[in-house]
Structure 1
Amino acid sequence: MKILVIGSGGREHAIARKFVESNAVSEVYCLPGNPGMSNNGIKPIKIDITNFKDIANFARENEIDWTFVGPEIPLIAGITDFFQQEGLVIYGPSQAAAQLEGSKEFAKQIMKSANVPTADYRRFTDYQMAMDYVGMEPFPLVIKANGLAGGKGVVIAQNHSEAKHALNSFLLQHQYGTTEVLIEEYLEGEEFSLMAFIDRNKVYPMPISQDHKRAFEGDNGPNTGGMGAYCPVPQIPDDIVTMAIQKIVQPTVDEMVNRRIPFMGILYVGLILTKAGPKVIEYNVRFGDPETEVVIPRLKSDLAVVVSQLLQHKEPVLEWETEGITLGVVLAAEGYPEQPLKNIVLPGLEDFKPIVDKIDFAGVDTVKNELVTSGGRIYILHETGSDIVDAQKKVYNLMTDFEVPKTFYRLDIGYRATVK
């Protein structure tokens, strides 16, 4: 098979590398990809991810068997529908189904209809009405931009001043292009991520993971796209995961089928274990990042075969590693997430070859034959240990082997699993 992966980050690197490992696959292209992927034999193709016509032409001309979509932007823009109209095979939800991530209001409607537990909320487009509501509610409050924000459009306001600043950014300055917000009750508990392969009303869950959104140790600093993750999450009981699948994931996809917008692809459910049980924080309609980089290495099955089976509506053969813990740490450029430095010179690609199976590149490019940074998150290093402490030790030893000036990373990824 020839496979095309759409995207350029660490998530897509992890997915494409898994495809390269398959005996059923002859070539893997990643569009636009990044230079770091070439160490694994992945072929980057410089086409914009929203240029559906050129992507489809590339797939046809290169006899791609099927295309896998990594990021949310092309899915929400309708790439799956476009490919299917062109007679091309693609794995990912339709534009209508992708509203689960594209519209937080739509997601809330689905949850309400499916009786899925989540936070109470109100929707606002008017700044003053939102401020009036804030004045009547107890803090903390969760304020979300209703749209795509790269995992950063959420503010947990601890007081009136922080709420005012968030609402000003979202409704008056239209940060992230938003024109409306959701104001939710604050839920307390342990967060975790549950991803699953979905074939209409059939759910094939992956092992759960937990990421770290805040930029700095102790979950301080601004929200980011994620500074690291680990899988599985030993402090979340198996019966809670089973409950989440039965009471949340299954009713969600059943409701989508009932609405005649069946979901086909990867469903990511961000969950929080409250005193009342697991509740939904958010849906994503694709693999999470950086969760993918620690979940996919634990898949013993052939991912290319799994996706092929799903595309044929067959039950996939899924076998997961059950021993140990896989942990990944993100290296980020100074200034991330607000204004990350760019063009920081990195070690050469040759220097990274000894760890090609432990590194997923994200925000990198080549300038004058040098590997340099091009985004906030540069790469993620991951290791598997016998337990969380062993995994941390291995990863952080690896991080110190590849120290880069003008960058930073969190030193406490996985700390929640070590708290007794």
Structure 2
Amino acid sequence: MKVLVIGSGAREHAIAYTLLRGESVEEVTVAPGNPGMELDGIRTLSLNPSNQAALIDFVRNNDYDWVFVGPEVPLIEGIVDAFHEAGIPAFGPNKAAAQIEGSKDFAKRLMERHGIPTASYQTFEDLDSATAYVHEHGAPIVVKADGLAAGKGVTVAMDEGTAVSALEDIFVDHRFGAAGARVVIEDFLEGQEFSLMSFVSGTKFWPMPISQDHKRAYDGDKGPNTGGMGAYSPVPQIGQDVIDTAIETIVKPTVEAMAAEGTPFTGILYAGLIATADGPKVIEFNARFGDPETEVILPRLTSDLGAGIQAILDGDEPEFSWESDTTTLGVVLAADGYPTNVVKGAKVPVLPTDADSHVFYAGVKKDGDDLVASSGRVLLLEVSAADIPAAQQKVYGILDAADTTGMFYRHDIGAKALNA
């Protein structure tokens, strides 16, 4: 098969790389992709993911079998609807179903109607009423821009002043543009966070192994929220009983609710969860693979990704199997200043890898024979090992020996599992 992947980051690199690992897919093009992907024999195509007409023409003119949509923005813009109207199979939710990520208020109302466990919340459309609620409720409290904010629209405020500053960022400074037209304010939940992603087709779903992301920029969970600075899988401090409960009380009723309400979901449903003393609860839903979780989950896949997705598109039962005896761990190398004031242009080091490690590229561009940093997250280095300490030793042995001038990375990815 020939497959077009939409997107440009390390997530799409991992998807394309995994598709090519299977026997069913012989060619993958990523639009727009990045030049780092080409090191793995992946074709790239300089087309904007929002240019639906050009992408449709490319698929038709080059006999591609189906399309995998990676990022959230084209999903929420309705790219899957456009492909379907053109008679082109596409794996991802349509515009209506993608609202589960596009609007936090939509997702919270859905969970409220169907008794899906999540934090109590209120939605606001102006600064004064939101600020009054913060002072009435007290801290800690969580402030979220309602729409898409590239993983940066969430403030976990441990005091009222931080919460009010976050509200002013959204309503006064318009930091997140239209995404901040409404704000969801949630109760703070205590516990270990984890990510549970599933392949979904209507009311059927096939869960993946869980992972844990590290959102804060700096060691010890310090600094601002980012799109993610690293991840690992499995998460030994989260018991199988918690995972089973999450599948039964969160994933299953969510896909059934989406179908019952006329917005059936097909694609990857990402559940960002927290294991509280009262059981697992939803922090957020995404309508696609998480990033950086994808880069540590897909290396654990032992079946053919392309064949599994083709089966779902055909309405058949897919086969997904996973490596159970290894740990995968990934560390993001980010440009200085990320996530607020990114300094671009640093030379990207060539990292030595082997059969148990891989580099997935994100924000890079060509500068002569070199790759240089072109956005906040530059790459993710993934390793597979027997356990978390062995994975940490390997990944940091590689990164610490590299010249990462102009970039930084966290040195404690996976530490929560060791300290639990």
TM-score bracket relative to the smaller structure: over 0.9
Partner of 1:197: 199
Code of the aligned partner of 1:339: N
Identity %: 50
Q: Distance in 1 between matches of 2:380 and 2:164?
A: 35
Partner of 2:143: 143
Partner of 1:206: 208
1:80-117 residue CA offsets vs partner (Å, 9 max, x unmatched): 00000011111000100000000001101110122100
Partner of 2:23: 23
Partner of 1:385: 385
Does residue 88 (structure 1) correspond to residue 88 (structure 2)? The answer is yes
Corresponding residue pairs, total: 418
Code of the aligned partner of 1:53: A
Partner of 1:38: 38
Asked if the contact 2:357/2:384 (under 8 Å) is kept, the reply is no
Structure 2 unmatched ranges of 5 or more: none
Deviation at 1:21, TM superposition (A): 1.3
Deviation at 1:356, TM superposition (A): 9.9
Deviation at 1:247, TM superposition (A): 0.4
Asked if the contact 1:111/1:252 (under 8 Å) is kept, the reply is yes
Question: Which range moved further: 17-26 or 373-382?
Answer: 17-26
Q: Distance in 2 between matches of 1:274 and 1:305?
A: 37
* Paired residues for 1:229-248 under 5 Å: 229-248=231-250
Question: Which range moved further: 367-376 or 46-55?
Answer: 367-376
Deviation at 1:357, TM superposition (A): 5.4
Does residue 217 (structure 1) correspond to residue 199 (structure 2)? The answer is no
Q: Distance in 2 between matches of 1:148 and 1:342?
A: 24
Go from structure 1 to structure 2 and tell me whether the alpha carbon gap of 1:118 and 1:353 turns closer, same or farther (over 3 Å shift).
closer
Asked if the contact 1:40/1:356 (under 8 Å) is kept, the reply is no
Q: Distance in 1 between matches of 2:113 and 2:128?
A: 30
Code of the aligned partner of 1:145: A
Asked if the contact 1:333/1:341 (under 8 Å) is kept, the reply is yes
Deviation at 1:371, TM superposition (A): 1.2
Asked if the contact 2:356/2:385 (under 8 Å) is kept, the reply is no
Code of the aligned partner of 1:194: L
Partner of 1:327: 329
Partner of 2:293: 291
Go from structure 1 to structure 2 and tell me whether the alpha carbon gap of 1:56 and 1:202 turns closer, same or farther (over 3 Å shift).
same
Question: Which range moved further: 72-81 or 17-26?
Answer: 17-26
Structure 1 unmatched ranges of 5 or more: none
Partner of 1:281: 283
Q: Distance in 1 between matches of 2:64 and 2:103?
A: 31
Partner SS, residue 413 of structure 2: coil
Deviation at 1:354, TM superposition (A): 5.9
Code of the aligned partner of 1:371: L
Q: Distance in 2 between matches of 1:160 and 1:109?
A: 25
Deviation at 1:353, TM superposition (A): 7.5
Deviation at 1:324, TM superposition (A): 2.1
Code of the aligned partner of 2:135: G
Partner of 1:47: 47
Partner SS, residue 402 of structure 1: coil
Go from structure 1 to structure 2 and tell me whether the alpha carbon gap of 1:320 and 1:307 turns closer, same or farther (over 3 Å shift).
same
Code of the aligned partner of 1:328: G
Instruction: Choose which of 267, 270, 274 in structure 1 pairs with 2:269.
Output: 267
Partner of 2:65: 65
CA RMSD of aligned residues (A): 1.3
Partner of 1:101: 101
Q: Which runs of 4+ in 1 moved over 3 A?
A: 351-357
Go from structure 1 to structure 2 and tell me whether the alpha carbon gap of 1:86 and 1:357 turns closer, same or farther (over 3 Å shift).
farther
Q: Distance in 2 between matches of 1:53 and 1:402?
A: 42
Code of the aligned partner of 1:399: L
